[in-house]
Amino acid sequence: MINKRISRYVLTGLYLSIMSFSATAADDDKLKNMCMACHGDNGVNPYQSIPDLRGQSLIYLRNQMAAFKNGERQDITMSKVAQLLSYDDINRLTKYFSEQ
């Protein structure tokens, strides 16, 4: 019950963060910070249930984000977040995290 409530709050915060700006190159830091909220600074986090992004290949990250965006892969948070990102956002974010 508590985990679902926390997930709902996190998801709502992420949704509001994404919707509060239109992503352009100048907004990369905001997009990165949104990801870092769960995945940790530079893509490393202390939670076993949330994967680290650092060290993942660019193609792997892009494929996973595309799968979340098009519904091939499901996750209560990532599916909704990916729907809100443009493919340009996904390309910029996955490039950043693959280079960490």
pLDDT digits (tens, 9 = 90+) for 24-54: 555 788 888 889 999 998 889 999 999 999 9
pLDDT at 22 over 90: no
Angle between the 87-98 and 28-39 helix axes, to the nearest 10 degrees?
Answer: 60
- For residues 48 and 56, the answer to whether their CB atoms sit within 8 Å is no
**pLDDT > 70 fraction of the chain, expressed in percent and rounded:** 74
Q: Say how far apart CA 60 and CA 63 lie, in whole Å.
A: 5
pLDDT at 6: 58
Q: Looking at residues 62-68, what average pLDDT do you find?
A: 97
Q: According to the model, what pLDDT value does residue 8 have? A: 61
CA 68 to CA 94: how far, in whole Å? 13
